[in-house]
A and B are shown apart, each in its own frame.
Chain A
Amino acid sequence: MVALEQELPAGLDLEVHGVSHAFDLHGAPLPVLDAVGLRAKPGEFVALLGPSGCGKSTLLRLVAGLEPPREGRILADGRPITGPHPSRVVVFQDPTLYPWRTVWDNVALGLEAQGVLRQRRNRVDEALRLVGLDGFAKAYPHQLSGGMAQRAALARALVNDPRLLVLDEPLGKLDSLTRIQMQGEIVALWRRAGFTTLLVTHDVEEALLMATRVIVFSERPARIKAEIVVDRPYPRHRDDPVLVELRHKALELLGLAGSW
């Protein structure tokens, strides 16, 4: 399904070295990331878990190249990231579809921006079918439900054949059934296409079901608290005793030991 021109591996090699970042809030610096270091090897699926407001989305913005980090280096295939590139595609927390474009045109955005839409029109239809929105190609975003908008945003990212797919709680607004289905679709797609995936989620179970590695962040400013390797074959089952064990461990790390 992915036809790559170069001999580069399908997945991007992402390295984050000692990245610290801060925002100015009411004149005072608000430290958000504190010496974060991580690596996602080509084809890995890394999940980022952490409390709300700790700085996960901020890290993703830096990885996308939308902002430079105040300290530290971020490398893609060994080269520093200086700006956004369509090989690193982000599905933002908020779907933010363009209200003046139909769903089809929204999904086609990346191909149009790169000037390859004419050759790859069928990719748009494919992506829409994958997220189950083929019947809504001509609808406008205000005619979609919140979950449908999120799925459209996912399709908009997938048509670009990314080498690094960055997902910021892409399934947050979905009902539990669609959510389980989309988790399966994303994992299947990732295994087929071989891109590197970075997934931010609040859902411990989701992280364990999908990722090969789960990185747990502390409260703001985010530091890496622990790393959990999930060495289980796919498709995974939520009642797999190993996963249940890991879930307890992760919840404990997040300070919710008694919850489950």
Chain B
Amino acid sequence: MSSLDDAAVLTGERNRSPTAPRLWLGGLAASAAWLAAAALTALWPEGEEWVRTGEFASLLAVVAGALAFAVPLLRLFGAAGERLRAAAPWLVVLALGVIGWELVTAKLDLLPRPFFAPPQALLEVYLDEWPRLLECTVASLQLLLLGYGIGAFVGFVTGVSIGWSRAVGYWVHPVLRLIGPLPATAWLPIAFFAFPSSWSASVFLIALATGVPVTILTWSGVAGVNPAYYDIARTLGASSRFLVLKVAVPAAMPHVFVGLFMGLGASFAVLVVAEMMGVKAGLGWYLQWAQGWAAYANMYAALLVMALVCSSLVTLLFKARDRLLAWQKGLLKW
């Protein structure tokens, strides 16, 4: 009898579900996980006293609270809500990761002491050192964007010229073949004494690292343009200028973007090396400095900022490509 009742309740539940707001179980689980992380951080006594443990626990609790708050309101958030729903497994795993990190560092002291910092140590760095980190981020961005911008522009123009003009190709191609495969960092010692400052040397190196792949890919894009595109434009009265700017360049654009992505990756590498070797500013320099002082928490903090900056720049480039190449089908979504 009671099992029959249960069944009725169950079917009743199921019949009701399409109209009634479904409970977001993933969100509840995530909220619970973050709450557990907060409790563990706050209540488990630590061997060594970390200054910002309280703040870190509060931060975790805030995340838990926000998630709990979002559970009943998810449907009101629209598309953002859907994305949040999809992220629930990640949110749970992140919280578990924080718990694990807490345990092996601050709580159980399983990892060798100075090299591995607990999350509250990173928070401490962000709270106390943020002006300096910000300054370093700005310095890095300035250097990177200037070098990348110059490299991308020069590479693009060079690539189009080689692809278009036989004469330019005759002179530039051998140079490109010899110098292109060389990693830009190999020029570092020469660049640092050939340029007036290590900063301008770094701009040059980043531009070089960016310019080579952009040149080669732009060139291959222009060289690979369907000759029928030119025939059509020519029969319709196009000038050479039109053929370059309105036919060759847009047709080569997908290749150019591959080059821009490759150049961006290469420019990150050169940026960090250049900052570690000579430039007295930027996140690379900060990393080096933190390591010198055995300030490992600072190192991790800077590394995280660096990862976020690089990832954002790549995202930005993807966004630009999606805008410019909207005509292409089957674009990779980042």
Contacts and interface: CB of A to CB of B under 8 A. Distances in A.
A64 B231 CA distance: 9
A56 B253 CA distance: 34
A93 to B, nearest CB: 10
Interface stretch (A24-32, A46-54, A80-88, A240-248): A80-88
B103 interface: no
B328 interface: yes
Chain B interface main SS type: helix
Interface stretch (B25-33, B214-222, B244-252, B288-296): B244-252
A168 to B, nearest CB: 11
Interface stretch (A1-9, A94-102, A193-201): A94-102
Given A98-B251, A100-B253, A84 B235 contact: yes
B150 interface: no
Interface string B205-237: 000000000000000000000101101111111
A99 B328 contact: yes
A83 B234 CA distance: 9
A89 interface: yes
Interface residues of B, number: 22
A110 B327 contact: no
A64 B235 contact: yes
Interface residues of A, number: 28
A79 interface: no
Given A99-B327, A140-B327, A142-B329, A66 B231 contact: yes
B242 interface: yes
B327 A92 contact: no
A113 B228 contact: no
A113 B229 contact: no
Contact of B233 (A94, A99, A100, A109): A109
Contacts of A140: 327
B235 A89 contact: yes
B226 A66 contact: no
Contacts of A156: 232, 236
Contact of B236 (A65, A83, A89, A142): A89
Nearest to A93: B228
B2 interface: no
A114 interface: yes
A114 B236 contact: yes
Given A99-B327, A100-B327, A94 B228 contact: yes
B235 A114 contact: no
Contacts of B239: 113
Contacts of B228: 92, 94, 96
B226 A96 contact: yes
A86 B235 contact: yes
A90 interface: yes
Contacts of A90: 231-232, 235
B199 to A, nearest CB: 39
Contacts of B226: 96
B236 A96 contact: no
Interface of A: 61, 64-66, 83-86, 88-90, 92, 94, 96, 98-102, 109-110, 112-114, 140, 142, 156, 160
Given A140-B327, A142-B327, 19 more contacts: A66-B234, A85-B235, A85-B237, A92-B228, A94-B228, A96-B228, A96-B232, A98-B229, A98-B247, A98-B250, A98-B251, A100-B327, A110-B237, A113-B233, A113-B236, A113-B246, A114-B236, A142-B329, A156-B232
